[in-house]
Amino acid sequence: MSDINKVVLAYSGGLDTSVIVRWLQDTYKCEVVTFTADIGQGEEVEPARAKAKALGVQEIYIDDLREEYVRDFVYPMFRANAIYEGEYLLGTSIARPLIAKRLIEIANETGADAISHGATGKGNDQVRFELGAYSLKPGIKVIAPWREWDLTSRETLMAYCAERNIPVDYAGKKKKSPYSMDANLLHISYEGGNLEDPYWEPEEDMWRWSVSPEAAPDTPTYIEIGYQNGDPVTLNGEALSPATMLATLNKLGGDNGIGRLDLVENRYVGMKSRGCYETPGGTIMLRAHRAIESITLDREAAHLKDELMPRYAKLIYNGYWFSPERRMLQAAIDESQEFVNGVVRLKLYKGNVVVVGRKSDNSLFDEAIATFEDDAGAYNQKDAEGFIKLNALRLRIAANKGRSQLS
């Protein structure tokens, strides 16, 4: 007899999670609560309600989390200029802690004994969901069907639907794409299918959010993004909410062929994985944020941020959003953003994001000192001689002691 009476399932309404509803009911003899999050995946989430009802679910949660997602997760991450392994803008990674947080909140609200998800035993998402859940509710039971059942393919899932009278309309018929896709306001990812050959070039019709750079307009698009404490708050002078800002930048970037990425990444579980990503708005935001930081951040603060960033990015990729070390790094990053205010002007053109201007009332750029013209004594060039000699002292001593730097 199972000690699980009620489970909260992260439910998309697709084939896998529809099978999971019935599998949980059959295997654990428990009540299932479904939770569907709208984080800007670009598809209707309300149909999940009818699908869940058809499977006998009584408690159904469908939550619009778009603003919370961008405000409390995407924006803090972008203050750090976070990139994993030099390329990946962490679009899937940063969505998982929010889903885990809401799963635990619903479990508390409904008195559920466990949570469940549809992540496979090969991927990163199982780690991200569960690390987040255990951080917020240490004693929660987590059920990961892909690590328990013997349903190993789409064919066996469909057979299970037939045996248990799960309507295939509700379980999801044939995918429109041969690829496994995950989308939210920050990005859309593509994995599987022909992409499992890392030498395969994806076909043009795979991409959903962007035109190819070759097909982008011949006339550039100019935009201005206004920043306050490191976050984008205005676009072309108009104040926008976080979710609206990112959605608008996605459209502008996609129309100009911006944000496509093809990479092989190192998963936390140990394997390499090839994926393609579209992150048009995020690509623009990253370039703009670094531009406003370039004139408002102190040199050593900026360099320290760049040194901390890979560690911060790895924490997010591996699922440690709710860890004390991520919170500690976030506090330092947020402290650095006090004077990151101003406006960045950008040119979007055929896959490129070009910074063409930046200005700020908090700028540390001093034209009187930096000028190549007469600086009226603002900078004494003779001071450079002593500066150079002091920094060369250890090198000169070593050379005088016969420690040649030539090999």
Q: The domain containing residue 250 runs over which residues?
A: 181-297+339-359
Query: Is 152 inside a domain boundary?
Result: yes
pLDDT at 174 over 70: no
Question: The tokens of 243 are what?
Answer: 């979710």
205 occurs within a structural domain? yes
d(CA 201, CA 187): 20
pLDDT greater than 60 at residue 329: yes
Residue 86 falls within a domain, yes or no?
A: no
Mean pLDDT of the chain: 95
- Residue 274 placed within a domain: yes
pLDDT at 171 over 80: no
Cα dihedral 297→300→302→308 (10° resolution): -150
Count of domains forming the chain: 3
Final residue of a domain: which of 142, 174, 206?
174
At 168, list the tokens.
């295939």
Q: What is the pLDDT of residues 300-310, one digit of tens each?
A: 999 999 999 99
Burial (CB count within 10 angstroms: exposed 0-12, middle 13-18, buried 19+), residue 201: exposed
| Residue 227: count of CB within 10 angstroms of its CB | 24
319-335 burial code (b ≥16 CB/10 A, e <16)? bbbbbeebeebbeebee
To which H or E segment does residue 14 belong? none
75 within some domain: no
Average pLDDT over residues 244-268: 98
Q: Cα(163)–Cα(341) distance, rounded to whole angstroms? A: 60
Please indicate, yes or no, whether residues 203 and 345 belong to a single structural domain of this protein. yes
Say which residue, 253 or 14, is predicted with more confidence: 253
- Please check whether residues 41 and 145 belong to one and the same domain: yes
pLDDT digits (tens, 9 = 90+) for 76-92: 999 999 999 999 999 99
**Where does the pLDDT of residue 169 fall: very low under 50, low under 70, confident under 90, or very high at 90 and above?**
low
Considering the domain architecture, whether residues 168 and 152 belong to the same structural domain is answered as yes
What CATH number has the domain bearing residue 249? 3.90.1260.10
pLDDT given for residue 224 in this prediction: 98
How many angstroms separate the most distant Cα atoms in the chain? 87
Tell me: pLDDT of 175 over 70.
no
How much is the pLDDT for 176?
Answer: 62
Tell me: do 42 and 133 sit in the same domain.
yes
Q: Does some domain include residue 314?
A: no
Does pLDDT of 27 surpass 70? yes
35 shares its domain with 107:
yes
Contacts for 15 with CB less than 8 Å, ≥ 6 apart: 154, 157, 158, 161, 171, 172
Q: Give yes or no: residues 375 and 282 share one domain.
A: no
Q: What is the rounded average pLDDT of the residues 6-19?
A: 93
Tell me, what's the pLDDT at 1? Answer: 47
**398 CB-near residues (< 8 Å, 6+ apart):** 405
Whether residue 133 contacts residue 140, with contact meaning beta carbons closer than 8 Å, is answered with yes
Pull the structure tokens for residue 338: 């006090």
Specify whether 190 is located in the same domain as 162: no
Region of residue 51 (phi > 0: left; psi between -120 and 50: alpha; otherwise: beta): alpha
Which whole number is the average pLDDT over 227-240?
Answer: 98
Q: Are residues 286 and 387 in the same domain?
A: no
Residues 262 and 389 in one domain: no
Residues 141 and 241 in one domain: no
Same domain (yes/no): 241, 108:
no
- Helix 154-163 and helix 15-28: axis angle, to 10°? 50
Catalytic residues: 16, 96, 125, 180
Q: Which of 125, 158, 174 is the last residue of a domain?
A: 174
Residue 125: give its domain's CATH number.
3.40.50.620
The answer to whether 345 and 357 are in contact (CB under 8 A) is yes
* pLDDT for position 245: 98
Torsion-angle region of 116 (φ positive above 0: left; ψ -120 to 50: alpha; else: beta): beta
Does residue 238 sit within a domain?
yes
Q: Tell me which of 174, 203, 227 is where a domain ends.
A: 174
Please indicate, yes or no, whether residues 346 and 198 belong to a single structural domain of this protein.
yes
For 127-160, write each residue's pLDDT tens digit. 999 999 999 999 999 999 999 999 888 789 889 9
Residue 254 in domain: yes
Rounded distance between C-alpha atoms, residue 309 and residue 368, angstroms: 32
pLDDT of 22 higher than 60? yes
